[in-house]
Structure 1
Amino acid sequence: MRLPLALTATATAVALALTGCASAPEPQAEPGASSDLVEVRGDFGETPRVDFPTPLVPDATQCTELVEGEGDYLVDGQQALVGLAVYNGTTGEEIQEPQGFGDQDPLPVVLGANTLTGLRTGLSCAREGSRVVVVIPPEDGFGDAGNAGLGIGADDSLVVVFDVQEAFLPKANGSPRITRDGFPAVVTAPDGRPGITVPDREPFETTEVEVLKQGSGETVEDGDRVVVHYTGVLWDDNTVFDSSWESGAPASFIVSEGSGSQVIPGFAEALIGQQVGSQVGVVIAPEDGYGDAEQAGIPAGSTLFFVIDILGVV
């Protein structure tokens, strides 16, 4: 059975309506007496010189944006590249050498359930280009257990300085496009998660790519490392076999037409030449996927379908 164009157009309209419901993110913490007492000297992106009176132990996590960034505030599940300096807010001692500043590669961080509550809350005050001071009380940090390895006791607070050097998109933000008849239907929830319906028909004989949302950002080139969200399903039964959305964090891969690629050929083909902000759908024929070998529960000879949000190029 072929999926009619009208149904595909309806799915696109529903996706527009759903994504339109999302509101701009707001910070989950505010400046306070503690965060405002932290003095940070030095240029954005360079190793900061940090001073503050001790002890600083606020009742709740506080954040002060010292250098204003641009765009939306960070949200759960979003990945950013940061410089990071961390101090014991009770003693004033530096917990570790600052990382990700100057000539050092910035650190990738993802806001999510596995992040300390205070860091997750504090980073919600940041945007790309922000320098943010976050002061975290013990209960939002390491709690009653502290962290002996870092020299943090049960009653110790944390002072953290972030320079958010780059923030990747939390989801594709391009303009929806209508796909051909017979292509799987995709409806996107407000948080970006795709819902996929594979049509009841034989799969395409070759790998086929459709742009579901057309972005306007940087173009992915052969050999680039990309940051993506993706969901993959089996064509035969629409079973999800892998999804970065389920893991709670975007993935990062090198995509190449050659031996340096970290993904299967069909996945790389779908991304090279596309723009950041795009969402692409790709039907991957077995020869461009895992071929005749079973792979992590994927039957041999399987045709695959991926929905991929291109969030950035590193």
Structure 2
Amino acid sequence: MRKIPAALAILGLAAVGLAGCSLPAASDCPRPDGSGEDLDLIQVTGSTDAAPEVDLYTPFNPPVTQFTDLEEGDGEIPITSDGQLVVLDLSLYSGDSGEPLVASGYDGDLSQPIPMSQWVATVPALEQALHCASDGARVVVAIPPDGIEASAATSVGLSEGESAVAVVDVRKVYRGAADGTLVYNSGMGLPAVVRAPDGTPGVVVPDGAAPDELVTQTLIKGHGPVVEEDSTVRLHVLSVGWDDKEQISSTWETGAPQSQSVTGQQLLQDVLVGQTVGSQVMAVVPAELGGTEQATVFVFDILGLDEAAPAP
């Protein structure tokens, strides 16, 4: 069986866009019913720390996607949006022969999260099968021929019209947007932040002069881990100019939350250290401090803390 990186290189397909989302707690997100009689033809054994052993009655031809949790997730953040970053391990098996086709690394590396949208673009069956799954879940999925994108199926050795079985281990799930408790701020003379239903922020900059010192406000107080001076944080960031009131950049539009090391970055240390994952923080940076022609308004959504790759 070939071994490829943890994302399965998304089976060779390109990225697609994201759509960030405010997420419910895992306890508020019931898993859908994916039961079906074809699941009785699949036997999965082995530790969730490694690639599973799968015995399959062949030929295996499920008419629709079916799935069940072999292990229930115990994480706080469920998968509810294609815009979320996730770390998954996945093993794929031929429906005709039962033989393994491709597997991720199972190396404990949590440092390379992938947008859920990329997984779904390649294996559409995963959208339903992983809905509301959280860290620690092991899910077996019976995949009909239309449950895998055609070129991806060919690239891993599936013949036309062939079904497959996937075993997915959910290692880490990031928030799609800030999801904590709203915080009251008087905000006199400062920008106001509005949010779309999916959590995407917008900034309303007031008329008048910008502050001449750095100003920060916690707009949403998250309930996750604390950002430390040596943390690497995963952020959605929106920036808007004070004077022209024009958007400068937005990871919400590019679909790529930033991974930023706080170490050695004074602005991030001043704004983010001591904040908690799940928070939304606004910072107004004077032009002189930022080295720009005008003051800049930043809105940071703290989606999670990145973890370093394990030592070789």
Fold agreement, TM-score > 0.5: yes
Equivalent of residue 299 in structure 2, options 297, 307, 311: 307
Assess, with a 3 A threshold, how the Cα gap between structure 1 residues 149 and 22 changes in structure 2: closer, same or farther. Answer: closer
Counterpart of 2:49 in structure 1 is: 45
Q: Distance in 1 between matches of 2:211 and 2:239?
A: 16
Assess, with a 3 A threshold, how the Cα gap between structure 1 residues 221 and 110 changes in structure 2: closer, same or farther. Answer: same
Counterpart of 1:119 in structure 2 is: 126
Assess, with a 3 A threshold, how the Cα gap between structure 1 residues 312 and 106 changes in structure 2: closer, same or farther. Answer: closer
Instruction: Spell out the pairing of 1:248-267 with structure 2 (5 A cutoff).
Output: 248-256=255-263, 258=264, 265-267=266-268
Deviates more, 1:33-42 or 1:59-68: 33-42
Amino acid at match of 1:58: P
Equivalent of residue 168 in structure 2, options 145, 148, 162: 162
Please tell me whether residue 142 in structure 1 is matched to residue 149 in structure 2. Answer: yes
Q: Is the 8 A contact 1:232 1:240 kept in 2?
A: yes
Please tell me whether residue 57 in structure 1 is matched to residue 64 in structure 2. Answer: no
Q: Is the 8 A contact 1:184 1:196 kept in 2?
A: yes
Q: What is the number of equivalent residue pairs in this alignment?
A: 279
Q: Distance in 2 between matches of 1:203 and 1:106?
A: 38
Q: Distance in 2 between matches of 1:313 and 1:226?
A: 5
Please tell me whether residue 232 in structure 1 is matched to residue 233 in structure 2. Answer: no
Q: Distance in 1 between matches of 2:61 and 2:47?
A: 27
Q: Distance in 1 between matches of 2:112 and 2:269?
A: 25
Q: Distance in 1 between matches of 2:96 and 2:246?
A: 51
Name the SS of the counterpart of 2:253 in structure 1: helix
Equivalent of residue 94 in structure 1, options 59, 76, 100: 100
Amino acid at match of 2:286: A
Q: Distance in 1 between matches of 2:135 and 2:244?
A: 41
Q: Is the 8 A contact 1:228 1:310 kept in 2?
A: yes
The Cα offsets for residues 97-152 of structure 1, whole Å up to 9 and x where unpaired, read as 432x2544475232226633222232215222211112222222123x45443212
Deviates more, 1:243-252 or 1:124-133: 243-252
Amino acid at match of 2:238: T
Name the SS of the counterpart of 1:307 in structure 2: strand
Instruction: Spell out the pairing of 1:191-270 with structure 2 (5 A cutoff).
Output: 191-256=198-263, 258=264, 265-270=266-271
Counterpart of 1:110 in structure 2 is: 115
TM-score by length of 1: 0.77
After TM superposition, give the deviation of residue 84 of structure 1 in Å: 2.0
Counterpart of 2:274 in structure 1 is: 273
Please tell me whether residue 73 in structure 1 is matched to residue 40 in structure 2. Answer: no
TM-score by length of 2: 0.78
Q: Is the 8 A contact 2:38 2:62 kept in 1?
A: yes
Structure 2, unaligned runs of 5 or more: 1-21, 307-312
Amino acid at match of 2:296: L
Amino acid at match of 1:228: L
Q: Is the 8 A contact 1:78 1:249 kept in 2?
A: no
